[in-house]
Structure 1
Amino acid sequence: MSYIDGFVIAVPTANKQAFIDHANKADSVFKELGATRVLECWGDDVPNGKLTDFRRAVQATEDETVVFSWIEWPDKATRDAAMKRMEELMKTDERFSAEKNPMPFDGKRLIFGGFAPVVEL
């Protein structure tokens, strides 16, 4: 069964194209390291909740859009090996260079986690 890394990010709405450009460069590394699928989804219908919601989870402001992303891996072992390799690449690969591919969002408000599917249809 597959393994999923999920992410929620607040991205300044004005940075949409910069985010897409950044993701195209950085996400290609995940595919090279064994990811079967990477999706970056720009918020379109993200309602405010009564107790909590996606916007509050990442402290999104009025001029930001919530992005929901995930990476599908064939299994947790492939993901764990890829993440270990990512630590090394973050220091050397220009796709992660702050100068050549700056993050167009506040990475401190990005939330993420790894998930083992329990139902897959």
Structure 2
Amino acid sequence: MTYVDVMICAVPEKNKEEFIEHSNNIIGLFKKHGALAAADFWQDDVPDGKLTSLPMAVKKEEGEVVVYSHIIWPSKKVRNEGMPKAMQDMEASEEAHNMPFDGKRMIFGGFDQIVEG
């Protein structure tokens, strides 16, 4: 069954084009190491909350937007083999030094698919 990695972060609005370029570079690394697909989504309708919210989760600051990303893998086994290789490639490239957002406020996790429609 499909396995998905999800990431949510806050990106300065002024870094949108830089984020897109960064993303286009690293998506290829995930696909090179077995991912079926990967995508990023720029905030459109993401409300602030009182107790919980996506902006609160990433400690979004003035002038930032929430970005949601996912990587789709054919299985957890492929992900567990491919993710370390993709991360190693990222660290070896100059891209690792040019993240257009604060990686300390990024949240992420892996999910097993249980339903598909």
When normalised by structure 1's length, the TM-score is: 0.91
Q: Which residue of structure 1 aligns with residue 108 of structure 2?
A: 112
Q: Which residue of structure 1 aligns with residue 84 of structure 2?
A: 84
Structure 1: 4+ residue segments shifted above 2 A: 90-94
How many residues are aligned here?
Answer: 117
Shift of 1:80: 0.4
Q: Contact (CA 8 Å) 2:26, 2:90: kept in 1 or not?
A: no
Stretches of structure 2 lacking an aligned partner (at least 5 in a row): none
Deviations 1:53-106 (A, max 9, x none): 000000001210000110000000110001221343234234x341xxx10000
1:5 is the counterpart of 2:5: yes
AA paired with 1:66?
Answer: V
- For 1:59 and 1:47, the matched residues in 2 are separated by 13
RMSD: 1.2
Q: Which residue of structure 2 aligns with residue 58 of structure 1?
A: 58
